Chain A
Amino acid sequence: MSVVKQHNAASPFLFLIPALAVLGIFWVLSLGQVVYFSLTRYSPFREPEFVGLENYARLLSSERFWFCLLNTGLYLLVTPAIILISLAAASIVHASLRYAKGLRVLLFLPVVTPTIVAAIAWRVLYNEDAGLLNAIITTLGFEPIGWLSTKPWTLISAMLVTLWKGVGFYMMIFLAGLMSVPRELKEAAFLDGASRLDVLRVVTLPAIWPIVSLVFVISSISALKVFDELYVTIRGAPIEHQTIVPLVFDTAFVRGDYGLACAIGITLFALILVFSIINLRLSSKGERA
């Protein structure tokens, strides 16, 4: 601990100032305004009018809100799958198979494909009358599935797109972590007679734990505020099939009730904040700090 005491008090802020200025001016200030607008009645071409907590009372008594909140909770189920598959993919690439390089490019393709473009292709796959997926299912002798119109398949369809996009992204993060684990540590463990599993448990996982915890926190945040995949994949499905952020979008830009949209947005923000802090607490136990 002697290291960290030797810098003077000003220096942490010298490092932090540029980033804090940008985040403060554009993001924190915006957040403050969203909080204010959530307390107003605010529609296009009208100045915001202060109404106190009215919007919050409205959302608590709205059935749409509770439906979407439940779906948002369900959407979280995609994160364990993303984490496991991307960690497995990173291990495969890291094990440097002969075709690992090509695989990395292939896996990364979904990340660089614009969501709007990917969604067009996914809608063709999901098409309920002529789509590839239902063609396979009916050939196998099962009933066709309403991928884009029936619960819970609408949510599952969007989650598959999220998974498809997320695996490449988080694989890259895991890969960077895996490459930072000193090879000597693993070699030493093998020399001591440790099995592959032991090395993973005792050497590799603890070394990349800060990265694992980051993926946990980040992937939950993005699952809780998912929008693109739902908006483009199951566009047109009733709001009961959607999650909170599509509801925010619908309230603000389709119904023109920006004050209520801000209240919903702030409620979601508060829930994500609490969830993330718990997540950070739980996962930081394994970190050296």
Chain B
Amino acid sequence: MIEKRGPALTAWLYLGAILLAVRSIGPASYLALGAFQPPTADLSNITAGFTTDPDSAFTLDNFREAWRPGSTLEQIDENAPPPGPGLARPLLNSVLITVIRTITNVLLAALAAYPLARMHFRGRGILFVAILATMMIPEQVSVVPMFRIVVSMGLYDTLIAAILPFSVSAFGIYLCRQAFMSIPFDLEEAARIDGANSMQIWWHVMLPLAGPTLATLAVFSVIAAWSDLLWPLVVLQSEHNHTLPVAINRLLGVFATNIRIAYAASVLALIPIIVFFLIAQRFLKAGIFAGAVKG
């Protein structure tokens, strides 16, 4: 620590921290509790299930039901749709799409951001605003033409269709540009004098120094790709191509009467991303990247 904090300031910081924590866990814990409730429990009063009937208060049935292919509902309800693929295949698809989208997004955004932050060329300002403008179109209208474009390219119902349009984002480019702008010019100048070309400066100077931001962008890309529903729902038709959110959306429809199964599937979908975030925490620390440049 640079300076000793007074006890009053520390108390305020802790108070703020506690308030923020309470604010953020409420809804998520409701979801998690609901996923363990038996069908008989009243979900509008979640604590009741734990107190009224101890025998059926806590169950893993919802998770089993969500995970396995097919569904027991067929026997009860003849109108139920044919058995789904379970969650294993959607899990695999989601992992694949998420990994590829994240790598391309960080790489292509960092590439495009460098000239926008550091080089002077004609039309730079307009190009930057045009890139940002792609963020300003409401997806609810652009999804129709984008769907037509994907179909005309022959990519409909392929995993590539779920990846390609989102392989780089204006947000990522913007975030990297701002991070590069905060890097002192002298470091770049020094590398230039040592004979480095633009590509080497980008790789050896800019990327390591913007490390915390690139790591943050990677985390955001993972989350965006992992939880994206609208686009995969539109372009992925076959069940073996479905992603987790699409599969959960299907469960919400099929099990409208027993929403706990969709809750359980949501909890299952949340676990990998929380584990990922806990691991990623280490890489979000400045020190790891700072060391690479100081020498």
Pair B286/A265 contact, Cβ less than 8 Å: no
- Contact B17–A111 (Cβ < 8 Å): no
Residue from the list B3, B146, B174, B179 in contact with A26, Cβ < 8 A: B146
By the criterion CB–CB under 8 Å, are A180 and B286 in contact? yes
Please pick, from A29, A96, A103, A122, the residue contacting B149 in the complex, using a CB distance under 8 A. Answer: A29
Q: Is B93 an interface residue (CB 8 A)?
A: no
Asked if A273 and B136 make an inter-chain contact with CB atoms under 8 angstroms apart, the answer reads yes
Is A175 touching B137 in the complex (CB atoms < 8 A)? no
A125 and B26 within 8 A (CB):
yes
What chain B residues lie within 8 Å of A213 (beta carbons)?
178
Which of B2, B24, B43 is within 8 Å of A190, CB to CB? B2
Nearest opposing residue in chain A for B167, CB measure: A22
What is the CA–CA distance of A121 and B27 in the complex, to the nearest angstrom?
Answer: 5
A271: nearest residue on chain B (CB-CB)?
B136
The answer to whether A34 touches B213, judged by C-beta atoms less than 8 angstroms apart, is: no
Query: Which stretch, A10-18, A73-81, A150-158, touches the partner chain B?
Result: A10-18
Choice from B2, B174, B213 contacting A187 with Cβ under 8 Å: B2
Interfacial residues of chain B within 207-232, with CB under 8 A of chain A in the complex: 209-210, 212-213, 215-216, 219-220, 223, 226-227, 229
Chain A residues contacting B131 (CB-CB under 8 Å) are: 19-20, 23
Q: A19-B168, A113-B270 are in contact. Are A227 and B138 (CB under 8 A)?
A: yes
Tell yes or no: B31 within 8 A of A by CB: yes
Q: Is the interface of B mostly helix, strand, loop or mixed?
A: helix
Give the docked Cα–Cα distance between A88 and B165 (Å).
Answer: 35
Which residues of A sit under 8 angstroms from B277, Cβ to Cβ? 105, 108, 112
Please tell me if B48 contacts chain A, counting CB pairs below 8 Å.
Answer: no
Docked pose: A92 CA to B18 CA in angstroms: 11
Roughly how many angstroms separate A93 CA and B264 CA in the complex, as a whole number?
31
A114 touches B227 (CB 8 A): yes
B239 sits at the interface (CB 8 A) = no
A25 & B149 in contact (Cβ 8 Å cutoff): yes
Contact call B266/A33, Cβ cutoff below 8 A? no
A135 to chain B, nearest CB (A): 11
B198 at the interface (CB under 8 A from A): yes
Which one of B58-66, B74-82, B84-92, B110-118 is at the interface?
Answer: B110-118
For residue A112, which residue of chain B has the nearest CB? B273
From DSSP, what is the main secondary structure of chain A's interface residues?
Answer: helix
Judged by a CB distance under 8 angstroms, whether B285 is at the interface is yes
Q: B259: which A residues are within 8 A, CB to CB?
A: 120
Using a Cβ–Cβ cut-off of 8 Å, how many residues does chain B contribute to the interface with A?
A: 101
Smallest CB–CB gap between A130 and chain B, Å?
Answer: 6
Which residues of chain A are near B124, meaning CB under 8 Å? Answer: 12
Known: A112-B270, A113-B28, A122-B27. A15 touches B138 (CB 8 A): no
Q: Is the CB of B20 within 8 A of A107?
A: yes
In A28-80, which residues have CB < 8 Å from any B CB?
28-31, 33-34, 37
Interface residue from A92, A217, A266, A272 paired with B20 (Cβ < 8 Å): A92
- B141's partner among A190, A196, A210, A248 (CB-CB below 8 A) is A248
Q: A112 vs B16: C-alpha distance in the bound complex, in angstroms?
A: 22
**Distance A31 CA – B134 CA, assembled complex (angstroms):** 8
When C-beta atoms are compared, the residue in chain A nearest to B192 turns out to be: A3
Inter-chain contacts of B141 with A (CB < 8 A): 34, 37, 248, 252, 258, 261-262, 265-266
Instruction: Please determine whether A110 and B28 come into contact, CB atoms closer than 8 angstroms.
Output: yes
Asked, given contacts A4-B118, A23-B131, whether A107 binds B24 with beta carbons under 8 Å apart, the answer is yes
Mark out the residues of chain A between 239 and 282 whose CB falls within 8 Å of any chain B CB in the assembled complex.
244-245, 248-249, 252-253, 258, 261-262, 265-266, 268-269, 272-273, 276-277, 280
A30–B145 touching, CB < 8 Å:
yes
**Closest-CB distance, B3 to chain A (whole angstroms):** 6
Q: In the bound complex, do residue A118 and residue B27 qualify as a contact, i.e. CB atoms below 8 Å apart? A: yes
Q: Is A202 an interface residue (CB 8 A)?
A: no
A89 on the interface (CB 8 Å rule)? yes
What sequence of 0s and 1s flags, for each residue 133-149 of chain B, a beta carbon within 8 Å of any chain A beta carbon? 11111101110111011
| Residues of chain B lying within 8 A (CB to CB) of residue A109 | 24-25, 28, 274
A residues near B16, Cβ cutoff 8 Å = 88-89, 92
Residue numbers in B under 8 Å from A83 (CB-CB) = none
Q: Known contacts being A125-B26, A176-B212, A177-B213, is A34 close to B121, with CB within 8 Å?
A: no
**Which 7 A-B pairs give the minimum distances between C-beta atoms?**
A121-B27, A33-B145, A12-B115, A19-B112, A265-B141, A179-B286, A210-B178
A contact set with B: CB distance below 8 Å:
2-7, 9, 11-13, 15-16, 18-20, 22-23, 25-31, 33-34, 37, 85, 88-89, 92, 95-97, 99-114, 116-118, 120-122, 124-125, 127, 130, 164, 167-169, 172-173, 175-177, 179-180, 183, 186-187, 190, 196, 207-208, 210-211, 213-214, 217-218, 221, 225, 227, 244-245, 248-249, 252-253, 258, 261-262, 265-266, 268-269, 272-273, 276-277, 280, 287-289
Interface residues of B, Cβ cutoff 8 Å to A = 1-3, 5, 10, 13-14, 16-17, 20-21, 23-28, 30-31, 43-45, 108-109, 111-112, 114-116, 118-121, 124, 127, 129-138, 140-142, 144-146, 148-149, 164-165, 167-168, 170-171, 173-175, 178-179, 181-182, 185, 188-189, 192, 198, 202, 209-210, 212-213, 215-216, 219-220, 223, 226-227, 229, 245, 248-249, 252, 259, 263, 266, 269-270, 273-274, 277-278, 281, 284-286
Apart from A245-B140, A248-B140, what are 8 other A-B pairs with CB-CB below 8 Å?
A6-B192, A31-B137, A89-B20, A103-B21, A109-B28, A112-B277, A114-B266, A273-B129
